[in-house]
Amino acid sequence: MVESNSLQSKKIRKFDLIVIGSGAGLEVASAAAQSGMKVAIVEKCKMGGTCLNRGCIPSKLLIHSADVAEILKTADLFGIHVEKFSVDFQNIVDRVNGIIDSDSDDIRKALSNSENPKLFPSECKFVDEKTLLVGEERISSNLILIAAGSRPAIPKMSGLEVTNYVTSDGALRLERQPRVLTIIGGGYIAAELGHFFGSLGTKINIIQKHKYLIPKEDQEISKKFTEIFSKKYNVYLQCIPELVTKKNGNFVISAKRSGATKYLEIESDQLLLATGRVPNSDTLNLSKTGVEVDEDGYIKVDKTLETSVKGIFALGDIIGRFQFRHSANLEAQYAYYNILNHKKKIPVDYSAMPHAIFSSPQVAGVGYTEQELKRITKKEYVKSIYRYIDTAMGKALDDREGFVKLLVSKENRKILGCHIIGSQASVLIHEVLVAIKSGDGTIDNIAKTVHVHPALSEVIVRAAVTT
């Protein structure tokens, strides 16, 4: 028996660090290898993770085409008359996929020729304490980083299992533009993809169970966004889809509005599920190595990103704190430091963690929403709202709906939150981020700063000086 165990142990390849996932985890693997550690990286899918292949980058490349189309549609407001334009949907998709596939393939080629980090292009699962089965090989390490991400959530709905629906993964690679698209879900994925397909001419239906679209935003932002989207598209609020069937090749969704007795029948030639994401922790057989997960399957980590097992860390979507690539990149920096300096670990500083929705209109935010300040905290605050149209550049852009909302502490003038809807919101938010992180973090740092006139950033300073 001892001899058998000895033979088995020789078959296990030892590494100083194993990284599962090639998104933000790839940065940690590369840095650790450069520091002299012997590193293994495991990735069963395309290199670069969700952001490069199925998320932020391809979606924003596609959305730029939608932004261009929307500019053309509204050009007459500015005295430019565009007779008509056509959409080459296949060319749009081919351009985007050509860019991201090339980048992903380049990463794989570079790692395939590398011994450190060593790439294992296979699915993996834990088979013992800190030991993974990767393909037909076993590898182990005292230090492991789990950065295996998440995947689209599939709701339980009768008839769904026999239909050829798409998720955000497949929607970005459709070869034919839908004539009519029904989206189940009303969060940021629905907002962005609704804008992409809708601006290119697809008729959009959105089925949302909540009272507003993008309901996690500040409520004044959610209300305004819902109002704008409802003018462009068919938005069914407080509506629950219960059955999907096929009729003459089309999807038919049977849904019921809150308080209604009759079902709505919503027909389209394509169905997109945008009902959130779930962590990939269930694919890893974590119980074999003792890593704990919460009731939703997210890996439990402490403030330093270490799991319930000493030496095993996790970051990104799979821990469920923030589902942004920029937050995963931040966590990667801390994970690398804490893995190498286990006796001097430091907690992740998530302060001023921003987000943006690249729809039309754009939305961006940081810090508390007003409803959170009322419900969760006891902080006394003042708020200020300033409209884009009341600035020179806002008039130039004819942005009549956009506004900036600032939430500021009554006690010390520190910025508690900022929420923006309108043109270039994803850019404008950065001035507020710097103000929160620098100096004393008060709104006065913005109010006292001279701004270029008539740049759009004047809407930020105008909101600041009125708090």
Amino acid residing at 15: F
Contact by Cβ (8 Å): 203, 181: yes
Identify the bridge partners of residue 364 per DSSP, sorted by sequence position: 356, 420
Radius of gyration of the chain (CA): 24
Distance CA 396, CA 388 (A): 10
Q: Which 3 state secondary structure label does DSSP give 33?
A: helix
Alpha helices, H only, 202-309: 219-232
Q: Which of 326, 342, 419, 453 is catalytic?
A: 453
Distance between alpha carbon 201 and the CA centroid of its chain, in Å? 25
Contact 388, 397 (CB under 8 A): yes
On whether the CB atoms of residues 204 and 191 are closer than 8 A, the answer is no
Structure tokens at 169: 């993964």
CA distance 2 to 10: 13
Q: How far is CA 217 from the centre of its chain?
A: 14
419 labelled catalytic: no
Name the strands in the sheet holding 239-247, side by side, starting at the edge strand that comes first in the sequence.
Answer: 239-247, 250-257, 264-268
End-to-end CA distance of the chain: 75
Q: Which of 270, 358, 360 is nearest to 72 (CA)?
A: 360
Instruction: Report CA-CA distances (Å) from 176 to 91, 168, 270, 437.
Output: 11, 15, 10, 45
How far is residue 397's CA from residue 175's CA, in Å, rounded to a whole number?
34
Residue 23 dihedral angles phi and psi, to the nearest 5° = -85, -115
Token pair for 213 = 């679209």
Q: Closest Cα to residue 405, out of 386, 392, 389, 391?
A: 386
219 three-class SS: helix
Contact by Cβ (8 Å): 396, 451: no
Rounded Cα–Cα distance for residues 463 and 277 (Å): 35
Place of tokens 């690249």: 358
| Residues annotated as part of the active site | 453
